[in-house]
Amino acid sequence: MKEVKSTCCYCGVGCGIIITADKGKIVAVRGDPDHPANYGRLCTKGSNLHRSAATDTRLLFPELRLERESSRQKLDWDEALDYAAGRFAGIIREHGPDSVAFYVSGQLLTEDYYIFNKLAKGLIGTNNIDTNSRLCMSSAVTGYKKTLGADAPPACYEDIERARCIFIAGSNTAYAHPILFRRIEAARQANPGLKIIVVDPRRTDTASVADLHLPILPGTDVALFNAMLHVLLWEGLADMDYIRAHTDGFDALKDTVREYTPESAADICGVPAKDIIQAARWFGGSGASLSLYCQGLNQSSHGTDKNAGLINLHLATGQIGKPGAGPFSLTGQMNAMGGREVGGMANLLPAHRDMANPAHREEVARLWGVNQIPSQPGKTAVELFEALRQGEIKAVWIVCTNPALSMPDQGRVREALEKAEFVILQEAYRHTETSPYADLLLPAASWGEKEGTVTNSERCITRLQPARIPPGEARPDWEIATDFARRLGSKLRHPSWQALFPYASAEAVFNEHRESTRGRDLDITGLSYRLLGEQGPQQWPFREGESGGQVRLYADGVFPTPTGKAGFMNVRYQKVAEMTDASYPFHFNTGRLRDQWHGMTRTGTVARLFSHAEEPVLSMNAEDMRLRGIQDGDVAQVSSRRGACTVRVQSSPEMQPSQVFMPMHWGSRFMSTSGANALTTPAFDPVSFQPELKHAAVKIEKLPYRWQMVALRKNGALAMLPRVQALLPGFQHASLGLSGQDEPVLVLRVAGDAPLDPILIERLDRLMGLDDPDATLRYDDARRGISKRILVDHGMVVGARLSGETMARDWLKEMMASGLPIEQIRLWALAPVNTAPAGSVARGKIVCNCNNVSEREIFDAIGKGSDLAFLQSGLRCGTECGSCLPELKRMLARGNRFSQMPMTKTL
């Protein structure tokens, strides 16, 4: 047994984790009680991390495919990297450095990021390196730089406890940053006077705790912020002394906001003027207002303006650089901050230097010992894949990310990957939506297997230690890039290739990165691996000779701009890139769920993480559904001008009329169509180049289906997953998932109108072992359209397929997960019904994942008069990670209306 300190690899809260490993396996995790981000707490995703550490789904060896249609061959590392270097060198010689590109990830460690950036900009001489953080944080970067002068979040987590008003905009913190939400709940309990304002078109779990919820129309944030500034000025709540002493550019903005009266903004935003006035009064009058914001502001074609509009409010009230106050952008990914710090984006250079600045380029060239850094701007994410599609970029190296699911306008991105001359995918997992496009697969070490550092949302750097050696031949990402760089440098006869990549350890990479920060706003020259190991996580800046990092920035009112003053940005409301109209009348919004992460590459291997949301659903306003004749559980086709997907629909009190929401997580590995990004628009912000993933115009058409089918398989479900995934495109509508606690049950749900393809069903049966006549009970009733297959192994039910009616699905799935002897259901298995036996009920979705408490059990207890304390003491729900607390409160608020509340309806 060994224990090491690390962090959770999901969101930007950056919770500290202690990993327990035994005989080379990761067997447990618990929150690190000493880590300042979480003090021992973890949310559902973090507390299930050890369950995602199984190696069944990992990519274990380099694999190469010489022809697109052929199968891949296993290689050793020398063969793989020599081949990769040869292909890159050939393409660069023939077409120039800008004919290759790198697309990396906010999941990489800082050291990994540093090497890839140096490889592209220093060795090859191209700025074509961008990252999935472009989809996530780049508007926050430009918002900070345009106003405060540097990409540095000025606040810290402790400010949550010190704030007197928390203004949450475009963030469902309860789902996306759950441990911070626990801190908000605790702050509210400790300080009942704390005001919480939430700006979100949906009434999310986060909005449900707000004192004031502003359900603005999508994309209208700037109008709201300008109107709030209008009120602050009108009511004398602006801090004119602070504005005069520490800011520039106020007069122009003051002129602009004159026209943003609360009434005019109310028309634009769709919220009452009195609520805008109230929000401004609480914000301006609290004495300590903290803004928390995320993708609702960032993923927009005007994301920079939205960020700046909010920061304007802080500058106008002097609410920055002091306890409990400041504009605090919550980072989406574990190490989005680290990537920004090393300049791992097409327009950035190490240590917050700018590509467009000749002096910065010279400094970096000197630091790296190369002649120059190219001045030609690199392609940002959307541009990069478009250049690949157009043939301008010939080869792309994708690292630790899944663009065939996560990029907007999937049709074009997949076409780009199809057309590319050479695609390398460096991944920990064997199967992602992107892997079918890869010519060369390179196995990477993953969470719990690497040494390095990450930076969380509050500028806090944590050193990660490996708990086990990577499986198979997987290697740390920085090491793969270093090895490749040496081979490529030699092939290109680069004058200084031997000196450029001398690293023997992650620590050596960190030390070079540290030196690059000397004298910069994020100076970490006082840090070392030893100090981080001995003293734990530290915030930047942490300069040489200092004894600690800086908790808060700009307390002295001095900003990293040429004048030392912050600058107001004169922003005006602009419409979303794609307006709704008669053909596409719905506002389509995408986002995260509580228990899944990004494209489900990791969380999609953990059965428990499907128990809160089994499959993707389109959330829709009940009246909109009624008007279109759509009922809960119906399947609909959702289409935009770019593509379509089929998805089940569920009414949601969160949704306003004409707005729909679909989670971002599911893609073509878990659905018969591409997911939400089949529909999203590639339109991006002209400053940050971040695409507008939060809004598209769509239409919704109910799909008629005449039959349904469900197939379930226990024992080896994870290994079976990719083979069943390969069948999905053959069905009209299908979704795939896992169920159960520790022994997963694979669940395939299918619905359609056209007759079932018997060849497809035969293949499915063969794959799931349901074709074995000696082990399978069979029942067919063609007249009723019912058929059943029940697979038995050692007297236990381990597989099933029900066609026609599938009402027994949830009951059967739950029984199988907990162990179902065939004798218990033999009569039912041979009876002409596919409904569950009388008296048996399914538990429904699991609300409390930690203690396995279902929606039905909670509603039953509420029906008997339980309050929250009783739910917690009786059922124990909400007593561990706390991720379900907002939902429990919401269920309690419905109270005795239990009998009218439908259980989560399943197909």
Residues binding ligand SF4 (CB under 6 A) = 8, 10-11, 13-15, 38, 42-43, 45-46, 177-179
Measured from the CB of residue 16, what is the shortest distance to ligand SF4 in angstroms?
9
Which residue type occupies 702? K
Least Cα distance to 645 among 729, 722, 583, 764 occurs for 729
In the complex, least distance from residue 159 CB atom to ligand SF4, rounded to whole angstroms: 17
The continuous run of DSSP H or E covering 768 comes out as helix 758-768
Q: Which is nearer to ligand SF4, 409 or 595 (CB)?
A: 595
287: left (phi over 0), alpha (psi -120 to 50) or beta: left
Q: Which of 131, 140, 599 is nearest to 381 (CA)?
A: 131
Cβ 120 vs Cβ 128: under 8 Å: yes
Judged by beta carbon, residue 177 or residue 352, the one nearer ligand SF4 is: 177
Closest to ligand SF4 by CB, 447 vs 859, is: 447
Give the DSSP H or E segment for 213: strand 212-214
Minimal distance, residue 153 CB to ligand SF4, in Å? 16
**Are residues 800 and 791 in contact, defined by beta-carbon separation less than 8 angstroms?**
yes
For residue 76, with 0-12 CB atoms within 10 Å meaning exposed, 13-18 middle and 19 or more buried, which class applies?
exposed
Using the minimum distance from each CB to ligand SF4, give the nearer residue, 312 or 401: 401
Neighbours of 882 (CB within 10 A): 22
Shortest distance in whole angstroms from residue 611 CB to ligand SF4: 17
d(CA 262, CA 255): 15
CB 175 within 8 A of CB 594: yes
Question: Could you tell me the smallest distance in angstroms from the CB atom of residue 46 to ligand SF4?
Answer: 2
Q: Which of 177, 414 has the CB closer to ligand SF4?
A: 177
Q: How far is the CB of 172 from ligand SF4 (least distance, A)?
A: 13
Contacts of residues 539-543 at CB distance under 8 Å and 24 or more positions apart, as own/partner, are 539/156, 539/458, 539/459, 539/460, 539/461, 540/341, 540/455, 540/459, 540/461
CA 672 to chain CA mean position, Å? 21
User: Closest separation between CB of residue 205 and ligand SF4, Å?
Assistant: 14
**Long-range contact set of residues 872-880: C-beta below 8 Å, sequence gap at least 24:** 875/848, 875/851, 876/848, 876/851, 877/847, 877/848, 877/851, 877/853, 878/848, 879/850, 879/851, 880/47, 880/848, 880/850, 880/851
Q: Using CA atoms, how far apart are residues 274 and 568, in angstroms rounded to an integer?
A: 26
| Beta carbon nearer to ligand SF4, 133 or 659 | 133
Closest CA to 813 of 785, 771, 843: 843
Q: Which of 330, 311, 238 is nearest to 566 (CA)?
A: 311
- Please report how close the Cβ of residue 43 comes to ligand SF4 at its closest, in angstroms: 3
Nearer to ligand SF4, 178 or 526 (CB): 178
Q: Exposure pattern of 168-196 as b/e (b: 16+ CB <10 Å)?
A: bbbbbbbbbbbbbbbbbbebbeeeeebbb
The nearest distance, CB 604 to ligand SF4, in angstroms, is: 15
Give me the residue whose beta carbon is nearest to ligand SF4. Answer: 46
The nearer residue to ligand SF4, 9 or 488, going by C-beta atoms, is: 9
Closest CB 592 distance from ligand SF4, rounded Å? 10
Q: Which tokens hold the place of 493? A: 């006869």
- Decide whether 168 or 825 has the Cβ nearer to ligand SF4: 168
Q: Is 7 or 651 the residue whose CB approaches ligand SF4 more closely?
A: 7
- Closest contact distance (angstroms) between CB of 10 and ligand SF4 is 4
Shortest Å distance, C-beta 180 to ligand SF4: 7
**Nearest approach, Cβ of residue 456 and ligand SF4 (Å):** 8
- Least Cβ distance, residue 344 to ligand SF4 (angstroms): 20
Give the residue with the Cβ less far from ligand SF4, 8 or 160. Answer: 8
Element (DSSP H or E) covering residue 854: strand 853-854
Q: How many CB atoms lie within 10 A of CB 474?
A: 25
Which residue lies nearer to ligand SF4 by CB, 12 or 844?
Answer: 12
Our CB check for ligand SF4 shows the closer of 494 and 592 to be 592
Is there a contact between 522 and 350 (Cβ–Cβ < 8 Å)? no
Closer CB to ligand SF4, residue 532 or residue 620?
532
Tell me the closest approach of the beta carbon of residue 874 to ligand SF4, in angstroms. 26
Taking the least distance from each CB to ligand SF4, the nearer of 541 and 882 is 882
Long-range contacts of 244-248 (CB under 8 A, 24+ apart): 245/557, 246/315, 246/318, 246/557, 246/558, 246/559, 246/565, 246/566, 247/315, 247/565, 247/566, 247/567, 247/568, 248/563, 248/565, 248/566, 248/567, 248/568
Round to whole Å and give the CA distance between 594 and 98: 40
Q: Are strands 586-591 and 846-848 parallel, antiparallel or unpaired?
A: unpaired
